[in-house]
Structure 1
Amino acid sequence: MVHMHRTIDPDRLYLALLSLRTSEECQAFLDDILTPGEFEDVVQRLEVAHVLSEGGTYESAAERTGASATTISRVRRALFRGAGGYRTVLERIGRA
């Protein structure tokens, strides 16, 4: 977990994400809070999780997404031994 200054409340971010109702609202919010590079990283990680959840290998994930071995390893660890966030999202969007 990222260490944050004590006056910063991550719950505000969670509530903000939960308040978004359309893909357009989500896109606008993410455009505002993430740099283009950060956005690309998040998109890439989700795609890596999708490939791995379908039984793909490191090689197929790297080929399909351009992700580094380190990124793929981190996503794999989170996907199979993490808090379950990737699985929840992939199941809900029909890509698990």
Structure 2
Amino acid sequence: MVNPKLKDELNDQLCNAVLKLETVEECYQFFEDICTISELKAMSQRLEVAKMLQKRHTYDEIVSRTGASTATISRVKRCLNYGADGYNLVFERLNREQPEEIK
């Protein structure tokens, strides 16, 4: 279920735009145009934090590898435990394609 606070026409447009991207190169092009480098790096960092949390890494290991703050790690952990299951959905699909990288 989509969070009603997020659901609107502009966010629908963004999600539909992302779904039109077909390659990693196209994703780079789009995200370079739509995000600052810092925003893109922050999203990438959160994805790696989530991956490491799922693999049961410690906060210290995650901080060391990603440079994420403990506040960011805690936020990602909350999303994994109580969020909309977006991380889990993505990891499940990535695992089907690249099982050795996600497990």
TM-score range, shorter chain: 0.7 to 0.9
| Partner in structure 2 of residue 65 of structure 1 | 66
- Return the letter of the residue paired with 1:89: V
**TM-align CA RMSD:** 1.7
Give 1:93 deviation, angstroms.
1.6
* CA distance in 1: counterparts of 2:80 and 2:32, whole angstroms: 25
3-state SS of 1:50 partner: helix
Structure 1 runs (4+) deviating above 4 angstroms are none
Give 1:25 deviation, angstroms.
0.7
| Partner in structure 2 of residue 41 of structure 1 | 42
Q: How many residues align?
A: 93
Matches within 5 A, 1:4-83: 9-83=10-84
Cα distance per residue 1:13-67 (max 9 Å; x no partner): 0100111111111110000000011111011100100100111121111111010
Query: TM-score normalised to the size of structure 1?
Result: 0.88
* CA distance in 2: counterparts of 1:34 and 1:43, whole angstroms: 12
Which stretches in structure 1 are left out of the alignment for 5+ residues? Answer: none
Identity among equivalent pairs (%): 45
Which stretches in structure 2 are left out of the alignment for 5+ residues? Answer: 96-101
Higher relative contact order (CA 8 A, sep 6+): 2
